[in-house]
Chains A and B, each alone.
Chain A
């Protein structure tokens, strides 16, 4: 390492090259950015992703050990109210239940956190082509639709989560009425992180609390995966169709473990997996 007196021409060339490279990367089309990001993920990020998975496992082991110790203790009831442990346990139990219900054709994966700023739209998952993940595979949690796979590397993949502006899924009310397309609801404040069910025929009126599930049209999401619950209707002035506001079944902030459905499973359907409550 060199000490002081730097700032030579070589340094300026290096800095200029870095800035130019960063600007070039920023100006690339989304597809090319995805390819470049994919290459970096495959080479550099893969070991870091493995590190994060191990850290998650350690965290889980610690929290599980903690809760087991407390199980033996007379203060078990108090310990069970710890929201973080309880929430994670509930999520894992539900996911195990989902795994039993699906039986085959899924790949379990960990959602690896990225940077904290503005990263609610995509998430890196700890499974890739080696585990049989393919592009456009649906990503689900026990509660329902999470998103779909946008890019796949050997050991990791990038999932596009439902708040992403490009996310679309054909949907219908549980029972078959009110077909439409679910997309993200672009709003701030209390309405951020809601979905919209657009294009529902005017004759199909959906009551508040109606469960919305995937319709199976389009070949990406099989029929019957919960998407959310209708919380209201948005008046858009259209005489032919209605738009409903939908409370999503899965919140991205609560994501830790997910399942990726494989193409054969998508083709076979998941009709009996998510039953009506």
Chain B
């Protein structure tokens, strides 16, 4: 990736994180877009798995700190999401928007599931509604927005060089 390309990419990454901490709470929709997850997968499709996992861990830790009841759960989930994103690219599919979108969707479900299991407080119908309705809808919305972002990023930045 060229230097201007890297700069654009870094700005895009930061912009997504800013959106996560400004636009998401402002909208406060029950079905939300997880901008942070999109940023992570965007990064994972360009860097090595270790870096992607470490970034996922850091981003998850920040969200965990806001709600310490399940401290470490989101960090764990996003570590796997970051690693999986980078591994799928390097091992199987290359930089594919489709794969990125699927990882974003599944990653959102995994992150929510990890938090709910670790917290263990949502039970009964509340848990069913969260896992059966709100989480899938949020995952779908995040994946749709993520697909757009990934497509945009692919157009703006050339794919990484292969060794």
One of B28, B89, B124, B135 near A113 (C-beta < 8 A): B28
One of A21, A116, A124 near B32 (C-beta < 8 A): A116
Known: A14-B53, A189-B125. A51 touches B22 (CB 8 A): yes
Contact between B49 and A112, CB atoms less than 8 A apart: no
| Inter-chain contacts of A38 with B (CB < 8 A) | 65
Contact between A15 and B71, CB atoms less than 8 A apart: no
| Inter-chain contacts of A158 with B (CB < 8 A) | 68
Contact between B21 and A51, CB atoms less than 8 A apart: yes
One of B54, B87, B116, B118 near A26 (C-beta < 8 A): B118
* Complex interface: stretch among A41-49, A73-81, A137-145, A201-209: A41-49
Contact between A37 and B68, CB atoms less than 8 A apart: yes
A42's nearest neighbour on chain B, judged by CB, is B65
Rounded to whole Å, the gap between the CB of B104 and the closest CB of chain A is: 16
Rounded to whole Å, the gap between the CB of B109 and the closest CB of chain A is: 11
Number of interface residues of A (CB under 8 A): 55
Q: Which residues of B74-131 have CB atoms within 8 Å of chain A's CB atoms? A: 74-76, 79-80, 83, 86-87, 89-91, 94, 111-112, 115-116, 118-119, 121-126, 130
Contact between B62 and A28, CB atoms less than 8 A apart: no
| Inter-chain contacts of B54 with A (CB < 8 A) | 14, 18
Centre residue among B49, B89, B123 by max chain A CB count within 10 A: B49
| Inter-chain contacts of B115 with A (CB < 8 A) | 115, 117-118
One of A3, A48, A51 near B160 (C-beta < 8 A): A3
The yes or no answer to B163 lying at the interface (CB within 8 A) is: yes
A45's nearest neighbour on chain B, judged by CB, is B65
Contact between B72 and A18, CB atoms less than 8 A apart: no
The yes or no answer to A165 lying at the interface (CB within 8 A) is: yes
Report the tally of A-B residue pairs with Cβ distances under 8 A: 176
A186's nearest neighbour on chain B, judged by CB, is B123
Known: A115-B115, A119-B67, A158-B68. A48 touches B50 (CB 8 A): no
A208→B122 CA distance, assembly (Å):
29
Q: Which residues of A44-85 have CB atoms within 8 Å of chain B's CB atoms? A: 44-45, 48, 51-52, 54-56, 59
Known: A1-B47, A118-B130. A26 touches B76 (CB 8 A): yes
Contact between A37 and B89, CB atoms less than 8 A apart: no
| Inter-chain contacts of A14 with B (CB < 8 A) | 50-51, 53-54
Contact between A112 and B66, CB atoms less than 8 A apart: yes
A112→B22 CA distance, assembly (Å):
10
A16's nearest neighbour on chain B, judged by CB, is B53
One of A44, A52, A117 near B135 (C-beta < 8 A): A117
| Inter-chain contacts of A2 with B (CB < 8 A) | 47-48, 160
Rounded to whole Å, the gap between the CB of A131 and the closest CB of chain B is: 19
Contact between A52 and B25, CB atoms less than 8 A apart: yes
Contact between A115 and B63, CB atoms less than 8 A apart: yes
Q: Residues on A close to B: CB < 8 A?
A: 1-8, 10-15, 18-19, 21-26, 28, 33-34, 36-38, 40-41, 44-45, 48, 51-52, 54-56, 59, 112-119, 121-122, 124, 158, 165, 188-189, 192
